Amino acid sequence: MEIKVTSLKRLKQAVVEYAPTHVVSVLDPDFSARHDLPFDPTIDVLRLAFYDDDDLAHQTVPVEHYVRQIADFLQQARSTPASRLLVHCHAGASRSPAIAYMAYCIELGSERAAFEQLMRICNKPWPSEHIVGLADRVLNRNGRMLEQLRAYRDRYPRRFAAYQRLNRRRDLFSY
C-alpha cells in the first residue's frame, strides 16, 4: 500500500496528483468545509471529525471509537490491490502522520520500520501522541508504537513550536 500525508491546504492538488484509492479525512468538528471536500465517488473515503489535541478531555465523541474505525478502514485499504492511501488533516502534521504511522504498522508489522517509513514520507511530522497511544492499544502493540514516537519527540523537542510558527505564517491557525 502506498501512503501520502497532506494538509487541507494542499488536499485538492494531492488528490489530483496522487490519485488515491482510499482517503482518511480528519478535520475539527466545528470546521464547516468538511462536508464540502471534493472527492471522486470512486475513492473510498473515511470522514472523521475530532480535535487535534493531546489533551482531549473536551472531545464529545470518544476518539478511541474513531481509531478503531480507522484501523478497520486501513485493513480494508491494505487488502485492496494497488491501494493508494491519502491521509489529511488541517496542517498535515499531527493527526494525519499518526494515522499514517498506524497504517505502516499494519502494513510492515514493525513499529521501528513503520516510524522510519513515516519519516521518509513526511517532512518533520509531530504525530499526535494521543492518537498513537490509542492506535497502540487498538493494534495490541504493547507500548511499542509510543516508544518510537517518544524517542523521536525526545530527539526533536522544539519541532512542535516550529510547526506552530509555520502554521501561523500559513494562516492555518491562530494558536
**What is the CATH number for 56?**
3.90.190.10
pLDDT of residue 59: 57
pLDDT of residue 117: 97
pLDDT of residue 99: 98
pLDDT of residue 62: 59
Q: Say what the pTM is.
A: 0.90
pLDDT of residue 152: 96
- The helix/strand/coil state of 47 is strand
Residues of the chain below pLDDT 50:
174-175
**Cα(38)–Cα(46) distance, integer angstroms:** 13
**Residue 175: inside a domain, yes or no?**
no
pLDDT of residue 175: 38
Q: How many domains does one find in the chain? A: 1
**Residue 174: inside a domain, yes or no?**
no
**Residue 35: inside a domain, yes or no?**
yes
Residue-number span of the structural domain to which 124 is assigned: 2-169
Measured from the Cβ of residue 154, the count of other Cβ atoms closer than 10 Å reads: 8
